[in-house]
């Protein structure tokens, strides 16, 4: 078993992060923020809110009793179907008032796992939960959300619905077995496709009609199709309270890796997200309140962290923002974006804090990214980002109002109070991609102590009403709006 297959402390991640220094991995600031003007003092006061959010998160707590899945007939031989044995262990644990459902060393094959309140699914060292790739193992279908739209679809690999005090923890591995022959071909056309295109399993034949149903206001219970090619997310707590995901390694997911939806008090800590398939987003909290994501590694085929709140009319129907989120001390490698908001952001986003993160990879497309359009809309406000080191990236800071459909709707996206401070970018193709609408230009952006050391171009600044900035340099020269 390789080191990547085990839980890694930040002090031992050097080999996994493309040469980032030990200091950059331990959560230390790359350099103290120099207090030079009044805005710095205001920035410090704002960040007290991040500490307050962390303190407000209600923690999980479990009785000190264990339920090994092997006591319920599970066999870790890589062949036996352990779906029912794991379900029996979870049921027994919940009936007894809660505790840990233990997965010992071995390779345990399984289908969908449904957590119950007060259950901690705990993978011990050298434990692997290996999930089947046939859709039949994820039936019956459940109430779920897929790309920001509620529907009745395949069960996520690990799912909880309206449960409280749940966890997935330990040093083991969750193996989704996504590949060029399993799950991923349902994506259809993809820029990095290494499979032969098969129109008969292309997700568009499910995705398009389901999204149309949502736009037409069809009740969620009726949004389901027999011809279903929507890949399930890996871990999805839905309308849950007090959720902990800690220590595990998640690999080769069919779709998004960690996807809490409409949940409260969510902690994702010290998790390794390693999946390079289509839509392999690392952690996508949707319409959640009080979320902490810390000390995690993201090496993914899509956004590392993407904060979301529903797509188009369905997001506006629920009208629940993603809010009160703290992201800290994470390492981002490959991905479409490091810290991202959108694109399913119709319910809005507010009070988002990201600090002490380290990003670097020639395959990292964007560092800080906001993506929306006038079909999505969404108010994105009170976003605070500081002490970020970016080694190598294609585009460092991106706010794009033209994502996917572009300016094709009546719902103006709006960004308010985006503050970025103490951001260091060693190498980028472009410093900025800022694309607003002529009728709704980008505004409300403040940059303090931001330094782009080596960039090929300033990038695109289109329909930007103004950027307040202090101590910002590009290739060693003071920054000025063109």
Report mean pLDDT in 10-residue bins for the chain, 482 residues: 36 28 28 49 86 98 98 98 99 98 98 99 98 98 98 98 99 98 97 94 98 98 97 98 98 98 99 98 98 98 98 98 98 98 98 98 98 97 98 98 96 95 98 96 95 97 92 94 74
Query: How far apart are alpha carbons 143 and 238 in whole angstroms?
Result: 9
What per-residue confidence (pLDDT) applies to 405? 94
Query: So what's the pLDDT on residue 38?
Result: 57
Tell me the C-alpha distance between 298 and 362, whole Å.
Answer: 14
Alpha carbon distance 236, 145 (integer Å): 9
Distance CA 304, CA 321 (A): 20
Task: Indicate if 302 belongs to the active site.
Answer: yes
Burial of 451 (0-12, 13-18, 19+ CB in 10 A): middle
What is the Cα–Cα distance from 447 to 202, expressed in whole angstroms? 43
The answer to whether 415 and 441 have CB atoms below 8 angstroms apart is no
CA angle 75–282–321, rounded 5-degree value: 120
Number of Cα atoms under 13 Å in the Cβ half of residue 460: 13
CA gyration radius, the chain: 22
Paired sense of beta strands 445-452 and 414-435, if any: parallel
* CB proximity list for 54: less than 8 A, separation 6 or greater: 292, 326
Does the active-site annotation cover 469? no
Tokens of 17: 């992060």
Q: Give the pLDDT of residue 37.
A: 57
Q: Are 430 and 458 in contact (CB under 8 A)?
A: yes
Six token digits for residue 454: 């080596």
C-alpha–C-alpha distance, residues 185 and 377, integer Å: 31
Q: pLDDT at position 411, please? A: 97
Catalytic residue chosen out of the listed positions 336, 419, 449, 469: 336
Per-residue model confidence (pLDDT) at position 39: 67
Report residue 119 as tokens: 């259950």
Catalytically annotated residue among 171, 265, 295, 302: 302
């Amino acid at each position: 078993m390789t080191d990547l297959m085990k839980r890694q402390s930040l002090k031992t991640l050097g080999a996994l992060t493309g040469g980032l220094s030990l200091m950059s991995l331990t959560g230390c600031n790359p350099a103290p923020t120099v207090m030079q003007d009044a805005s710095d003092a205001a920035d410090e006061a704002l960040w007290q809110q991040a500490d307050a959010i962390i303190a407000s998160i209600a923690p999980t707590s479990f009785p000190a009793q264990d339920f090994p899945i092997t006591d319920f007939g599970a066999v870790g031989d890589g062949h036996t179907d352990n779906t029912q044995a794991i379900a029996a262990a979870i049921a027994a644990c919940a009936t007894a008032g809660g505790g840990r459902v233990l997965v010992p060393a071995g390779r345990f094959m399984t289908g969908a796992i449904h957590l119950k309140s007060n259950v901690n699914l705990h993978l011990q060292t050298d434990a692997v939960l290996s999930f089947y790739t046939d859709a039949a193992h994820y039936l019956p279908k459940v109430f779920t959300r897929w790309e920001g739209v509620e529907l009745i679809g395949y069960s996520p690999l690990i799912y909880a619905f309206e449960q409280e005090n749940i966890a997935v923890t330990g040093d083991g591995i969750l193996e989704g077995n996504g590949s060029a022959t399993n799950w991923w071909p349902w994506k259809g056309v993809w820029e990095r496709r290494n499979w032969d295109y098969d129109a008969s399993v292309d997700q568009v034949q499910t995705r398009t009609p389901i999204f149309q149903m949502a736009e037409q206001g069809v009740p969620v219970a009726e949004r389901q199709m027999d011809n279903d090619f929507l890949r399930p997310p890996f871990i999805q707590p839905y309308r849950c309270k007090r959720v902990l995901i800690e220590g595990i390694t998640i690999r080769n997911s069919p779709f998004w890796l960690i996807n809490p939806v409409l949940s409260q008090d969510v902690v994702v800590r010290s998790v390794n997200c390693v999946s390079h398939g289509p839509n392999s987003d690392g952690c996508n909290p949707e319409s959640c309140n009080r979320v902490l994501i810390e000390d995690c590694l993201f090496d993914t085929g899509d956004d590392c962290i993407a904060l979301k709140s529903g797509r188009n009319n369905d997001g506006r129907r629920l009208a629940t923002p993603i809010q009160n989120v703290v992201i800290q001390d994470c390492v981002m490698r490959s991905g479409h974006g490091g810290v991202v908001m959108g694109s399913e952001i119709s319910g809005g986003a507010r009070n988002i804090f990201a600090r002490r993160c380290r990003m670097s990879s020639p395959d990292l497309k964007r560092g800080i990214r906001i993506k929306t359009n006038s079909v999505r809309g969404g108010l994105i406000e009170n976003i605070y980002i500081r002490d970020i080191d970016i080694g190598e990236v294609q585009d460092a800071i991106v706010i794009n109002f033209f994502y996917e459909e572009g300016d094709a709707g009546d719902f103006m996206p709006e960004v308010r109070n985006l503050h970025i401070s103490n951001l260091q970018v060693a190498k980028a193709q472009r410093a900025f991609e800022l694309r607003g609408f002529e009728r709704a230009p980008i505004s409300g952006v403040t940059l303090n102590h931001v330094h782009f050391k080596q960039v090929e171009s300033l990038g695109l600044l289109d329909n930007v009403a103004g950027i307040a900035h202090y101590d910002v340099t590009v290739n060693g020269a003071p920054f000025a709006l063109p």
